[in-house]
Amino acid sequence: MMLYFENDYAEGAAPAVLQALVDSNMEHLPGYGEDKYSKRAADKIRTALDCPQATVKFITGGTQTNALALDILLAPYEGIIAADTAHINTHEAGAIEFTGHKVLAQPSQSGKIDATTIQKFLEEWRADGSHEHMVQPGMVYLTFPTEYGTLYTAEELRAISDVCRANALQLYVDGARLAYGLAASADVTLPLLAELCDAFYIGGTKCGALAGEALVIPRPERVPAHLVNRIKQHGALVAKGRLLGVQFDALFTDGLYLRLGEHALAMAATLHDALVDNGLQLFIDSPTNQQFVVPDNAQRDQLAKMVRFSVWGKYDDTHTVIRLATSWATTAEDVAALDAELRRL
């Protein structure tokens, strides 16, 4: 029996989410997100955000959400400050540049950039006398959790938000794995994101949905004109918006979204202990559902016989960085079985 820790999108939808799709299947509903489920899901998200004025739109996938949101939130001449390791800078096939915007990549630590780095970039930008020949910085893009599973603290987010507001930059958070980040964070909450961000998205695809991300624009004055029109122009308007609305309605019923995150985190904690207890070196001490370790290549090959994981890259000539991820679908039995495998290494 193979054990699956390869990623957090290997199964379909969380059972309650799937059931909601089944239950609503034969209802006659209007298209293009005008259905009652999409509206109710948006309402529930606004409640969870404690932000009654937020605009919420459901988009199919993460790269699409990023490419759409950054393009419509920015002026055509503005670029995006992001970590050099940011998903938009490394693994979205240039989807951001495809819309005409430059990613202004900054040095990062374990997937994070900080307020000081942003401040320094702005100072150097201003010191150059050729502003009108340079890309205008318009936004800071963060991932929460980052690509390395790390988290910003509320204090770090506030510091970045302060720099943004002092410099007329928008703040955007890519929450592809937000459920896992919220579950792991001591102080970052949905209301805090609504307070600090100009826009962010609540990831569904990796957190219990078959597909779907909820793009949130907390403040009405930030909502681009003709928002639906621009979603359509980007090819991102789904005819059966119910597909996304029904799922998010279920995810935001009885706190399911956060509970899915908490379950994955509990599994990740056990996984973390199993890895460490069995002598594997952590590549990075991730607090979230992605765990990175450095087996030697013999261990790696042995493990690969029974466990699916992601290869993150070469560590040195004899070691490899691998990633094991839990999700809402991971069971205690899965982790126990993995622990048993690890003991045999």
Q: What is the DSSP letter of 222?
A: G
- The reply to whether 10 sits near its own copies by the rule CB under 8 A is yes
- The reply to whether 168 sits near its own copies by the rule CB under 8 A is no
| Contacts with its own copies, 234-263, as mask; x by CB under 8 A | xxxxxxx-xx--------------------
Range 176-215, binding its own copies (CB under 8 A): 205-206, 210-211
- The reply to whether 343 sits near its own copies by the rule CB under 8 A is no
From 45, 49, 68, 179, residue interacting with its own copies (rule: CB under 8 A): 68
Q: How far apart are CA 36 and CA 78, in angstroms?
A: 36
- The reply to whether 120 sits near its own copies by the rule CB under 8 A is no
From 52, 128, 305, 317, residue interacting with its own copies (rule: CB under 8 A): 128
From 47, 50, 53, 98, residue interacting with its own copies (rule: CB under 8 A): 98
126-to-13, 120, 133, 160, 170 alpha-carbon distances in Å: 48, 10, 12, 18, 18
Residues in the chain: 345
Of 209, 210, 223, 220, nearest to 252 (Cα)?
209
CB-based contacts of 275: which residues, under 8 Å, 6+ apart? 282, 291, 293, 324, 342
- Smaller CB separation from its own copies, 220 or 313: 313
> Is 211:65 a contact under the CB 8 Å cutoff?
no
> Measured from the CB of residue 272, what is the shortest distance to its own copies in angstroms?
21
| Residue whose pair of structure tokens reads 């999700």 in the numeric block | 327
From 153, 232, 279, 304, residue interacting with its own copies (rule: CB under 8 A): 232
Phi/psi-derived region of residue 94, left when phi > 0, alpha when psi is between -120 and 50, beta in every other case? left
> Measured from the CB of residue 192, what is the shortest distance to its own copies in angstroms?
27
From 55, 92, 151, 208, residue interacting with its own copies (rule: CB under 8 A): 92
Q: How far apart are CA 268 and CA 255, in angstroms?
A: 20
- The reply to whether 101 sits near its own copies by the rule CB under 8 A is yes
> Residue 190 carries which side chain, given as an amino acid letter?
L
Task: Point out which span in 85-93, 139-147, 248-256, 278-286 binds its own copies (CB under 8 A).
Answer: 85-93
